[in-house]
Amino acid sequence: MHIISWAKIRDFVDRHPTSLGSMRTWFDCLESRMYKDFNDLRTMFPSADRVRLKSGQDRYVFNVAGNNYRIICGIHFNRGKVYVRFVLTHAEYDKGAWKHE
């Protein structure tokens, strides 16, 4: 998969330096192969969730570093593109502001 973009992850790592290793592992695992659909994605990321926003768009939520961080993405499986929308701590995720995107 082609991940767009590392910049949001880098900005998060700048604020939370201890997250770098976990973020790099997530990035490398996702980038290492193509996934044909959500079920295929869950073979590598069993805790990933699909969330339908009020807008009707799907977002995919990944638990990173033992659920300490969340990465929320838009994924176009047919094009092999992953759009990183938010990188949050667990506490930021729980506030739910990302759902109003």
Interval 45-100: pLDDT, tens: 999 999 999 888 999 999 999 889 999 999 999 999 999 999 999 999 988 888 87
Q: Is residue 57 part of a domain?
A: yes
At which residue do the structure tokens 């990302």 appear? 98
Q: Is residue 101 part of a domain?
A: no
Q: Is residue 20 part of a domain?
A: yes
**Number of domains into which the chain is organized:** 1
> According to the model, what pLDDT value does residue 99 have?
80
Domain holding 61, by residue range, is: 2-95
**98 Cβ neighbours under 8 A, 6+ residues apart:** 59, 72, 85, 86, 88
Q: Is residue 37 part of a domain?
A: yes
Q: Is residue 89 part of a domain?
A: yes
Distances (CA, A) of 5 to 82, 84, 98: 8, 6, 17
Q: For residue range 1-60, what is the model confidence (pLDDT) as tens digits?
A: 999 988 999 999 999 999 999 999 999 999 999 999 999 999 999 999 999 998 889 999
Q: Is residue 56 part of a domain?
A: yes
User: What pTM was computed for the model?
Assistant: 0.92
Q: Is residue 100 part of a domain?
A: no
> According to the model, what pLDDT value does residue 100 have?
78
CB 87, CB 15: distance < 8 Å = no
